[in-house]
Amino acid sequence: MTPRVLTVLGATGTIGVNTLDVVARHPGRFDVFALTGATQVDRMVEQCRLHRPRVAVMTEQAAADAVRARLAEAGIGTEVRAGADALIDVSTAPEVDTVMAAIVGAAGLPATLAAARAGKRILLANKETLVVSGQLFMDAVAASGAELLPIDSEHNAIFQALPRDFRGDFQAAGVKALWLTASGGPFRTLSAEAIAAATPAQAVAHPNWVMGKKISVDSASLMNKGLEVIEARWLFNARPNQIRVVVHPQSIVHSMVEYADGSVIAQMGTPDMRTPIAYALGFPERIDAGVSALELLGRQLTFEAPDTTRFPCLQLAFDALTAGGNAAAVLNAANEVAVARFLDGAVPFSAIARSIAHALDRLAGGVADTLDDLLESDRQARYVAGKYLERLT
């Protein structure tokens, strides 16, 4: 078997680490061409030692210099580069056929879009690619013949539950609705007052999943689910009213597809990101993910409606999806700014939704025809949200 040649964007983050864990379980099946990170020098050096990529990219120059020196000292010949252009280069290199897109935030968008335009197989874990540039990105995938496989556990579950030949036509496939499950996060049972006063430590303490700080806060606010709703619209060509959200605290059912005949097909499994990662890495084969078996005996599975009064970010995401244009880019950028300020202890948890609503009121309705348009909306939203949050400090 000819190995798949892999670039991992965001190798030092949670998804990247889990990707390399799965890769290590299958010697000879994957050839790691490039690993990228931001500032985690020690982790990148260790990953280069274990996987011997041809290229390592750090977005920060100082981090790249440190990695280069450490690898040279260890006698490891990996080329080390720095900056956004290098991310694009390793995503579009002729040798590469598969790109794991796992950079958190809008910073991952240009390289992922470049990989789509280059016709790569893209394992998409970067939410912002579709949230910010959904139509633009899907047009690039269609034009180049790129292959798009979702990594988010929810979208991967839907992908598994849809017919293998599904091409975005709900009627032809007999699909009625997509059901995205949400754990409810750490604040599921708290009052609105308790949620408003929550601390960063409470927000990142997810009950089921091990994730980075930003995505953990998004899970606590249900913005993570809102972003996934927008992603699902583009991944599966779904109308907003064909996408439903249900709170499932056990995180055993990862999502469901409802069919016209009354059938509902669900994908279930232990809450471990290595399952969707392995499914995408091996597709169309199934390969070992190193995940413990699902034990259902003695388990109770429950489902609840989401509360958009206590968790307004979910409704804001649906509103942005319905508005179209640049609204989702504004939503995403304002959320990134607010979450960062919250994690720094500068603003309360309740300020996240308020600042997003403010940015949408000010900026939604702008053009979104090109990547430059979207990045300008992103820039403006960060400024507007930042100024709003400054008034709260």
SS3 268: strand
- Confidence class of residue 210 from pLDDT cuts 50, 70 and 90? low
Give the pLDDT mean for 260-280. 97
| Alpha-helical runs (H) found in the chain | 14-24, 41-51, 61-74, 84-92, 109-117, 127-144, 153-161, 170-173, 192-196, 200-203, 213-221, 223-235, 274-282, 312-323, 327-343, 350-363, 371-390
Mean pLDDT of the chain: 95
CA distance 137 to 236: 13
Q: What is the pTM of this model?
A: 0.92
Residues 6+ apart with CB under 8 A from 87: 9, 36, 57, 59, 103, 110, 111
Q: Is the pLDDT of residue 209 over 70?
A: no
In the chain, the percentage of residues whose pLDDT exceeds 70 is 99
Give the pLDDT mean for 262-277. 96
Q: Is the pLDDT of residue 211 over 80?
A: no
CA distance 358 to 304: 29
Give the pLDDT mean for 270-294. 96
What is residue 213's predicted lDDT score, i.e. its pLDDT? Answer: 85
- Confidence class of residue 285 from pLDDT cuts 50, 70 and 90? very high
Q: Tokens for 66? A: 């440190």
Give the pLDDT mean for 193-203. 92
What is residue 150's predicted lDDT score, i.e. its pLDDT? Answer: 97
- Confidence class of residue 127 from pLDDT cuts 50, 70 and 90? confident
Q: Is the pLDDT of residue 144 over 90?
A: yes
Q: Of 56, 6, 58, nearest to 33 (Cα)?
A: 6
**Residue 283 φ/ψ region, left for φ over 0, alpha for ψ in the -120 to 50 degree band, beta for the rest:** beta
Domains and CATH numbers, the chain: 4-150 (3.40.50.720), 324-393 (1.10.1740.10)
- Confidence class of residue 106 from pLDDT cuts 50, 70 and 90? confident
Q: Is the pLDDT of residue 212 over 80?
A: no
pLDDT tens digit sequence for 66-92? 999 999 999 999 999 999 999 999 999
Give the pLDDT mean for 313-321. 97
Block residue for tokens 């394992």: 123
pLDDT tens digit sequence for 243-257? 999 999 999 999 999
Q: Is the pLDDT of residue 215 over 90?
A: no
Q: Tokens for 106? A: 């809008």
Q: Is the pLDDT of residue 208 over 70?
A: no
Q: Is the pLDDT of residue 383 over 70?
A: yes
* Phi (first) and psi of residue 346, to 5 degrees: -85, -30
Q: Of 232, 230, 206, 231, nearest to 217 (Cα)?
A: 206
